[in-house]
Chains A and B, each alone.
Chain A
Amino acid sequence: MSAIVEEHSNHGTPKGLQRWLFTTNHKDIGTLYLLFSLTMFLIGGAMAMVIRAELFQPGLQLVDPHFFNQMTTVHGLIMVFGAVMPAFTGLANWMIPMMIGAPDMALPRMNNWSFWILPFAFAILLMSLFLEGGGPAFGWTFYAPLSTTYSNDNTAFFVFSVHIMGISSIMGAINVIVTIVNLRAPGMTWMKLPLFVWTWLITAFLLIAVMPVLAGAVTMVLTDKFFGTSFFDAAGGGDPVMFQHIFWFFGHPEVYIMILPAFGIISTIVPTFSRKKLFGYASMVYATASIALLSFVVWAHHMFTTGMPLAGELFFMYATMLISVPTGVKVFNWVATMWRGAISFEVPMLFSIAFIVLFTIGGFSGLMLAITPADFQYHDTYFVVAHFHYVLVTGAVFSIMAAAYYWLPKWTGNMFDIKLAKLHFWLSLVSVNVLFFPMHFVGLAGMPRRIPDYALQFADFNAIISIGGFAFGLSQLLFVAVVYKCAKGGEQVPGKVWDGAEGLEWEVPSPAPYHTFSTPPEVK
């Protein structure tokens, strides 16, 4: 095999646009995914700014309610499917082959496809915003009958774009699994896999298990809306509550798809800057697997107020609370890793520590929401918004930032502007809490989510939240600046960028050559 790869590396890289369009190189595709995700993050962020600008004051100021609904819907869709998931796929493409000593992903041509259909999916989705009647306005969860009876005909574009996104992530997941199963370097046994690889392997199985279910759900919405079926229409013998069951059967594993790779990243970074081995490696692997398995039996905790019988409410309450056990194992393991370590606070470590603290806050509000009787009050309020933004922004997004700062020197060969990066971290940390923490209070006080106007007593808190929102949004431009500067130049870094770092990716030079591990390394 090494002969083939060597021959391949001699043909020279195509230049210009063609290099990126036809590339089958895992590093190129990883870069494409990451840049795409950053673009989507900024677009979705701009939509969040529109939402926060409208909510800055009570009353209707800037946008009409229908447009507001499109903003909340498309913000959610873009951040979930356009920003967080492609960012993790990009990291997987870049890092998994280098971490397991493989020359590339196992299915490079499919890899090219799984990236290049994504821009089309989001072009379709964003384009629908400009069509007559506007884009999807039924929330990212597209509950029937909002998405069937009460939506406009542009819903077809939404459905097709979700189909394409789904196909893309399924192909990405298949590639990850085949790569990890077949291309590990000799001696890289299962229990020697870096945790990022482990978490991604499990995530990939989750993706294959639930993305097709999402595809089924949108297909049913499509046929209900345009072809006269009645999956979700009671008048035709269907059941709108069934939509929620099918959606959340996808939706709950989906939230773990967005957090398990984050666990892998944090488990990689914390040992590096604590200069200790990760505490409880095996328990981390088992905890990840049990979170993934449990994620299939908790979906109805999103539906406590739909009129489930008591037995159902109790089952889903206890099953949900059970998930906090393996999650707690992880948090304690990270803390134990830091315990008595020689900690230094480089930028990736700052983001990781912020992740551990703030993700845990999001986990606690999740536990509160899991309590069925309490959930009846919290349901559909800003408390829920606060909860899932703590786990997704200060959780998933912070972990992606940490990963970017951790591996950026390896990718570019240059150290990033540390001062600017630290400024980015501190501004983000403060503003993200100004943005999301008060949401807990307005939520508990009863402010409903997805509403463009609110009662006067929430005015002060909303003004504070909006200021935090603008500050957080603008701070992310610093991240763009750091990445741009780092790609352009900077202090040269050695192969092993960080003192305490371990893993095969640090044994290749920085920047990582176009082809790495053409001859598999021996892992002891």
Chain B
Amino acid sequence: MQHGRLLRKLLLLTLGMFAFAFALVPLYDVFCDVTGLNGKPSMKVAEQSEAIIDSRQVEVSFTTHSQGHAPFKVDAAQHFVSVQPGKLTDVKFIAKNISDSDRILQAIPSVSPGKAAKYLHKMACFCFDQQPMKGKEEVEFVLRFYVDTELPDDVEELTLSYTLFDITERVSQTQNVQLGQLVALKEF
């Protein structure tokens, strides 16, 4: 009987499917990237646009909300701006840690409609980094972005939404760093 050979093949298939479960993680990101299904914009610094389309105006609005009990209040100075595709625009955000203790903020951007996500390019964003904030501290962030000239014509307005996470515990757990150090580091 060649039970052994068939057994080995089936075990290999099992291991392969276990690996496939983990391969689904990058596959999911790639799939969403290509199709723009889940509105996740890039978290990398974009290159500057080479062209500007003067004849078109796109309305970009900004919203923020805290996830769970994250003690942050972040508001855009302008709730919406009208921009020409390709043109760099700066928008100020006022962020405040409303708790008394030192916390670390992580903002996660999301774009609606989802298919517009890959056409919104950020050259500077507070969401690129973890933002340690002292208790009651107020900070001003600048978002520098432009809308891609290739943005599909049927998209006339889009919304950039930030979800604010309190990642203080997660950071101190995984990196074993004292929060005070992080805040101090930032002040240098």
A106–B3 alpha-carbon span in the complex (Å): 7
- Check: A216 CB closer than 8 A to any chain B CB: yes
For the complex formed, measure the closest distance between the CB of B35 and the CB atoms of chain A, giving whole angstroms.
8
A246–B31 alpha-carbon span in the complex (Å): 14
For the complex formed, measure the closest distance between the CB of B63 and the CB atoms of chain A, giving whole angstroms.
16
Provide the residues of chain A in CB contact with B35, threshold 8 Å.
309
Q: Is the CB of B28 within 8 A of A242?
A: yes
B2-24 to A contact mask, C-beta < 8 Å, 1/0: 11001100110111111011101
Provide the residues of chain A in CB contact with B2, threshold 8 Å.
182
A292–B18 alpha-carbon span in the complex (Å): 19
A214–B20 alpha-carbon span in the complex (Å): 11
- Which one of B3, B15, B108, B173 lies within 8 Å of A234 (CB-CB)? B108
Q: Is the CB of B3 within 8 A of A177?
A: no
Q: Is the CB of B15 within 8 A of A182?
A: no
Q: Is the CB of B21 within 8 A of A181?
A: no
Q: Is the CB of B7 within 8 A of A235?
A: no
Q: Is the CB of B1 within 8 A of A246?
A: no
Provide the residues of chain B in CB contact with A12, threshold 8 Å.
none
A234-259 to B contact mask, C-beta < 8 Å, 1/0: 11110101100110010000000000
Q: Is the CB of B108 within 8 A of A174?
A: no
Q: Is the CB of A216 within 8 A of B11?
A: no
- Check: A212 CB closer than 8 A to any chain B CB: yes
- Which one of A208, A235, A239 lies within 8 Å of B10 (CB-CB)? A208
For the complex formed, measure the closest distance between the CB of B104 and the CB atoms of chain A, giving whole angstroms.
10
Q: Is the CB of A174 within 8 A of B37?
A: no
Residue of A nearest to B31 (CB): A245
With A174-B7, A212-B18, A216-B22 known to touch, is A309 a contact of B28 (CB < 8 Å)?
no
B95-123 to A contact mask, C-beta < 8 Å, 1/0: 00000000000101000001100000000
Q: Is the CB of B28 within 8 A of A212?
A: no
Q: Which A residues from 213 to 248 make CB contacts under 8 A with B? A: 213-217, 219-220, 228, 230-231, 233-237, 239, 241-242, 245-246
A504–B7 alpha-carbon span in the complex (Å): 26
Q: Is the CB of B43 within 8 A of A246?
A: no
A398–B173 alpha-carbon span in the complex (Å): 50
Q: Is the CB of A209 within 8 A of B17?
A: yes
Chain A residues touching B, majority SS: helix
Q: Which A residues from 365 to 411 make CB contacts under 8 A with B? A: none
For the complex formed, measure the closest distance between the CB of B111 and the CB atoms of chain A, giving whole angstroms.
13
With A210-B17, A213-B21, A308-B37 known to touch, is A237 a contact of B43 (CB < 8 Å)?
yes
Q: Is the CB of A216 within 8 A of B6?
A: no
For the complex formed, measure the closest distance between the CB of A12 and the CB atoms of chain B, giving whole angstroms.
26
Provide the residues of chain B in CB contact with A291, threshold 8 Å.
none
Q: Is the CB of A235 within 8 A of B38?
A: no
A219–B15 alpha-carbon span in the complex (Å): 14
Residue of B nearest to A228 (CB): B174
Interface size class of A (residues with CB under 8 A): 35 or more
Chain B residues touching A, majority SS: helix
B31-57 to A contact mask, C-beta < 8 Å, 1/0: 000010110100100000000000000
- Which one of A178, A209, A307 lies within 8 Å of B7 (CB-CB)? A178
Provide the residues of chain B in CB contact with A219, threshold 8 Å.
21
B114-152 to A contact mask, C-beta < 8 Å, 1/0: 110000000000000000000000000000000000000
- Check: A107 CB closer than 8 A to any chain B CB: yes
Q: Is the CB of A178 within 8 A of B6?
A: yes
Q: Is the CB of A245 within 8 A of B3?
A: no
- Check: B82 CB closer than 8 A to any chain A CB: no
For the complex formed, measure the closest distance between the CB of B71 and the CB atoms of chain A, giving whole angstroms.
14
Q: Is the CB of B170 within 8 A of A228?
A: yes
A236–B108 alpha-carbon span in the complex (Å): 9
For the complex formed, measure the closest distance between the CB of A151 and the CB atoms of chain B, giving whole angstroms.
15
- Check: B165 CB closer than 8 A to any chain A CB: yes
A161–B108 alpha-carbon span in the complex (Å): 34
Provide the residues of chain B in CB contact with A178, threshold 8 Å.
3, 6-7, 10
- Which one of A211, A233, A309 lies within 8 Å of B37 (CB-CB)? A309
A230–B130 alpha-carbon span in the complex (Å): 15
- Check: B67 CB closer than 8 A to any chain A CB: yes
Provide the residues of chain A in CB contact with B40, threshold 8 Å.
239
Q: Is the CB of A217 within 8 A of B21?
A: yes
Residue of A nearest to B165 (CB): A235
Provide the residues of chain B in CB contact with A214, threshold 8 Å.
21
- Check: B163 CB closer than 8 A to any chain A CB: yes
Provide the residues of chain B in CB contact with A183, threshold 8 Å.
1
Residue of A nearest to B15 (CB): A212
A215–B24 alpha-carbon span in the complex (Å): 13
A297-314 to B contact mask, C-beta < 8 Å, 1/0: 000000000011100100
- Check: B25 CB closer than 8 A to any chain A CB: yes
Residue pairs across A and B with Cβ atoms less than 8 A apart, 7 shown, are A209-B17, A211-B17, A212-B18, A215-B21, A235-B108, A235-B167, A246-B21
The 10 closest A-B pairs by CB, nearest first: A216-B21, A235-B165, A228-B174, A212-B18, A212-B17, A213-B21, A174-B10, A242-B28, A235-B106, A235-B167
| Known A170-B14, A213-B24, A242-B25; further 13 A-B contacts with Cβ < 8 A | A177-B10, A212-B14, A212-B20, A213-B20, A215-B21, A220-B22, A236-B167, A236-B170, A237-B43, A239-B40, A307-B38, A308-B37, A309-B37
B binding-site residues for A, Cβ under 8 Å: 1-3, 6-7, 10-11, 13-18, 20-22, 24-25, 28, 35, 37-38, 40, 43, 67, 106, 108, 114-115, 163, 165, 167, 170, 173-174
A binding-site residues for B, Cβ under 8 Å: 106-107, 170, 174, 177-178, 181-183, 208-217, 219-220, 228, 230-231, 233-237, 239, 241-242, 245-246, 249, 307-309, 312
